[in-house]
Structure 1
Amino acid sequence: MQPMPSALETPRLRLRPRDGRDAEWNLALLAEHPLGRAAGSLEDERERLDAQRAMFDELGFGLYAIELASTGEAVGYCGLVVGRASASQPEIAYELLRGHVGHGYATEAAAAVADAAFDAAFPALWATVATWNAPSFGVLAKLGFGGTRRAGLDGGNVYVWLHRRAPRRRHRVSPA
């Protein structure tokens, strides 16, 4: 597998690897999380995100900050993580600040990440979604992910594993 690109673009979004400069908005995102994720100080978050960026460089994939192309405003993140999967078949992960949910940004960003992952020769991608997270099931269905099994994880929350294989590459035959 090849490394993921250092930047991705769609008509409305720019994606770049997350790092310490994303700490402030990421703390706001953590504060909005329905499961009440604990967050540290701004400096701790900068250090955590800088370490995350170093892992992106080491593994060749990781999380991208999602920015609006028109303004540069960060609206969330999307990318690949080992998570509950593996480095050879990672999980796609995404999360948006509440004020930016419902505009199709998660679908647009996740489609760009999935396309780049398959272009980088990942054979498959996984996703795990808590059963309460209906919007994520919609995003993943639009991208061709299908459910495979349910498992109770993380404090009793029930998660569904979804999977998508890389599209088959069609070889063009030149006319003789």
Structure 2
Amino acid sequence: MTADAPVHDSPSFETSRLLLRPWRVAEAAVMRELWTERDPRVPPHRRIDADGRPTLAELEESIRAEQPSSVGMLAIERKSAGDVIGYCGLIDSGRGGTGAPELGFELLRRTWGNGYATEAAWAVIDWAKSSGYRRLWATVWDWNVASRRVLSKLGFTESDRTEVDPARGTTLFTTREL
């Protein structure tokens, strides 16, 4: 297997500007860059720690170990440049109820403001609907205005459910019927 080959067969989606597909081991550096760019209010277990972990090697191994799935975080590749700029997909954490996966997305800061998150998420939503899901949900920090705006464009509405963390802010739970 080459470093440029997808590790597992998972769904792939194409939009006018983007290709959503499984991560390749060679793209672990992009994943690590996402970790380094995260807001300091993001919980420590989702940021690079004082020892520099996760390391590039650890992220490469996590890509190799990823199990094929009908849901999961897919790399977002810009078709025009052939570069990976983040991820978008569904995870089934169980927090949203039975049969309701969570939509997630994260893009490199240098690509913000171009509509890529919205475009990628629409492709995932369309797939979820055609796959028989009836509802999706997403969480977002109250201070993450850009992601809240994307979720609103996608038709997600904020529910009454929140989780308050005095140090990091409030997590809002949003939902979207399909």
In the superposition, the TM-score normalised over structure 1's length comes to: 0.83
* Structure 2 match to 1:115: 126
* Structure 2 match to 1:23: 28
* Structure 2 match to 1:70: 80
Distance 1:87 1:46 in 2: 31
* Structure 2 match to 1:85: 96
Cα distance, 1:18 vs. partner? 2.3
Tell me which amino acid in the other structure corresponds to 1:50.
R
Q: Which runs of 5+ in 1 are unaligned?
A: 167-176
Cα 1:154–1:29, aligned 2, differ >3 Å: closer, same or farther? farther
Distance 2:168 2:156 in 1: 24
**RMSD in angstroms over aligned alpha carbons?**
2.0
Distance 1:44 1:94 in 2: 21
* Structure 2 match to 1:12: 17
8 Å Cα contact 2:11/2:70 also seen in 1: no
8 Å Cα contact 1:80/1:93 also seen in 2: yes
8 Å Cα contact 1:76/1:96 also seen in 2: yes
Residue correspondence of structure 1 range 1-176 to structure 2 within 5 A? 6-35=11-40, 37-38=47-48, 39-51=53-65, 53-54=66-67, 57=68, 59-83=69-93, 84-86=95-97, 88-149=99-160, 150-153=162-165, 156-166=168-178
Deviates more, 1:147-156 or 1:26-35: 147-156
Q: How many correspondences in the alignment?
A: 159
Deviates more, 1:122-131 or 1:5-14: 5-14
Q: Which runs of 5+ in 2 are unaligned?
A: 1-8
Which secondary structure state, in structure 2, belongs to the residue aligned with residue 75 of structure 1?
strand
Cα 1:127–1:25, aligned 2, differ >3 Å: closer, same or farther? same
Q: Show CA shifts across 1:46-80 (max 9, x none).
A: 111233x31xx2x4210110010112101110000
Task: Give the % identical residues.
Answer: 37
Q: Show CA shifts across 1:108-145 (max 9, x none).
A: 00111111111111111000000010011111111111
Q: Which 4+ runs in 1 deviate beyond 6 A?
A: none
